[in-house]
Structure 1
Amino acid sequence: MAAYLEQRTTQAAGWSRSLATFSAVLFITAGLAHRYGLIPTPPFLSVLSIVAALAAGSLALAAYAFTRFWYHGDLGGRDLVVGGLVSLAVLAPFLVTGYRAFVYPQLNDISTDLVAPPTLVAAVISRGLDTNEVTPFSAEHRRLQTENYPEVTGRRYEMPFDRASEIVEALLVRQGWTVATSRPAFVGQSEMTIEALAHTPLLGFPVDVAVRLTDEGTSTYVDMRSVSRYGRHDLGDNAARIIAFLGELDAEMAVQAGAAPAE
């Protein structure tokens, strides 16, 4: 009488694939909904924690299924591979976030002027109780920014004040940011601040931006501030936003003036 060895299919592999797939679908759906303003940020942050937990659980099940597959010859190799790869893909943004939180300083408010940063009147009014409070810069804040983002500096352009303000506001709109207010708005003003609402590129977290222009007679000085509405750590996002915007402004001013701007 012949004996047959029956191979078992480990259930952990199937569960790993199911959890990984569900976490990926939840991540994409919630991310798009938040990006387009269909769900507010606080509930979205809770969803992100659920996504991370599901993906981590899926990866753990895939690891257990792999031990069964390797040592006992259980079936389910395809499911554990799919579950492992999908869960790693879902966890990748969280791992990158952890790395950036380690590398960059814990700041969420960056300005080219650390002594008298551009004010955020409209932003303060529109912020809710669950958002970050806009506070004056401490000595530690100034030290951390100076040491980590020395390239975040203001710009001086040989451009008339009125024309410079038009270029700045047009560039803000071109970025896809919502211009909230320009103040003061009267003829003969020597200083104005333009506020706008920006969003992070991937998941659309709201960020308040203020660009201040100061009339220096034959030139215009531009300062910029970028402040995250949520989270104690901006992961380097605000400094990168200021550097990128002012870089584009440099190019635009050079085109308009026919010469490179002076800093």
Structure 2
Amino acid sequence: MRILIRTSKTAIWARRIGRIAIPLVILPVGMHHLGLIDSPSFFTVAILALIVSALAFLVGLLALIRLWFSGDQGWGKALSGLFLGLICLAPFAYYGYYAWRYPPVTDIATVPRGELPLLFLPDTAKMPPPKLITPDEQARIFPNATTRTYPLDVVSLFGVVERLVENEGWDIHLNVPPGPDGTPGRINARITTIPGWREEAVFRVAPIANGAKVDMRSASINAPHDFGSNGSRIARFMVNLDNEVTTLLRDNPNVNQPTAAEDEEPAPSVEGEGN
């Protein structure tokens, strides 16, 4: 006599829910990144995807427990649901970690924000009030996100900044070189993060006694939390700028440098202020 072993319905549902979670996680990210859906809709779908992913993981785990005691078939389906749920939960865990690590801030700058205005007025007009941190908190969390001064003329320094911005692949919407009358150079660039949040980086390269300085602002346009991206972006860019200028001065000792008057203070070092 042949004994039929039934397949666990819980295991079947675990795999079904896991298969639903995959497109719920992937499609909204792609649509938000391309601007096909707005941020509030993306946030709503992301919450739904989180719930479905967690449900797939829990149902898969429950199915494995029941299979252990019942002896039914469906181990592959239960493991599939568990694995798909776990994969879909991974990005939420990733951003959850950075939400815990960094304070809820959406705007970071090396100088008062009003000195580096954002360019995208149609977007910024719809922005909620920015979430800020104190200067002490910024210095503690992002110690490299500070103004940089270099013993280099403003035109040469602007060229280095411009090249680094282009190498980042950011979408430059404003590029104004420094003027001969001492007007600072300015660059505004748009960044789109992987989940589709829009952010803007602003650069100002201004002449000073014996050199030039670089300030930077990075702000989120449509995100409730930047997960540390703005402060990390400034810190990373400034460190790269330090390295580029150091290499330039080392390999080109005759590069254009401002002439210091005898009664002026010595030229500032390549190191960033406050480091």
Q: Shorter chain as normaliser: what TM range?
A: 0.7 to 0.9
Partner Cα distance (2:170, 2:102) in 1: 25
2:15 paired residue number: 17
Relative distance call for 1:132 and 1:197 in structure 2 (3 A) is farther
* Partner secondary structure for residue 61 of structure 1: helix
> TM-score if structure 2 supplies the norm length?
0.82
Partner Cα distance (1:192, 1:83) in 2: 55
> TM-score if structure 1 supplies the norm length?
0.85
* Partner secondary structure for residue 134 of structure 2: helix
Q: Is the 8 A contact 2:179 2:185 kept in 1?
A: no
Q: Is the 8 A contact 1:132 1:231 kept in 2?
A: no
Relative distance call for 1:253 and 1:117 in structure 2 (3 A) is farther
Q: Is the 8 A contact 2:7 2:74 kept in 1?
A: yes
Q: Is the 8 A contact 1:213 1:223 kept in 2?
A: yes
Partner Cα distance (1:251, 1:39) in 2: 39
2:148 paired residue number: 155
The count of residues paired between Structure 1 and Structure 2 equals 255
Partner Cα distance (1:7, 1:124) in 2: 65
1:123 paired residue number: 120
2:266 paired residue number: none
1:70 paired residue number: 68
Q: In the TM superposition, what are the counterparts of 1:18-167 in structure 2 within 5 Å?
A: 18-113=16-111, 115=112, 118-127=115-124, 129=126, 131-134=127-130, 141-167=134-160
Relative distance call for 1:169 and 1:126 in structure 2 (3 A) is farther
Relative distance call for 1:35 and 1:62 in structure 2 (3 A) is same
- Structure 1, unmatched stretches of 5+, are none
The yes-or-no answer on 1:248 pairing with 2:245 is: no
Q: Is the 8 A contact 2:106 2:220 kept in 1?
A: yes
- Structure 2, unmatched stretches of 5+, are 252-268
1:191 paired residue number: 184
Q: In the TM superposition, what are the counterparts of 1:155-234 in structure 2 within 5 Å?
A: 155-182=148-175, 186-200=179-193, 202-234=194-226
Q: Is the 8 A contact 2:189 2:202 kept in 1?
A: yes
* Partner secondary structure for residue 168 of structure 1: helix
Q: Is the 8 A contact 2:155 2:177 kept in 1?
A: no
Q: Is the 8 A contact 2:203 2:217 kept in 1?
A: yes
* Partner secondary structure for residue 122 of structure 1: coil
Partner Cα distance (1:148, 1:35) in 2: 28
Letter in 1 for 2:152: M
Q: Measure how far apart 1:122 and its partner are.
A: 0.9
Partner Cα distance (1:159, 1:125) in 2: 36
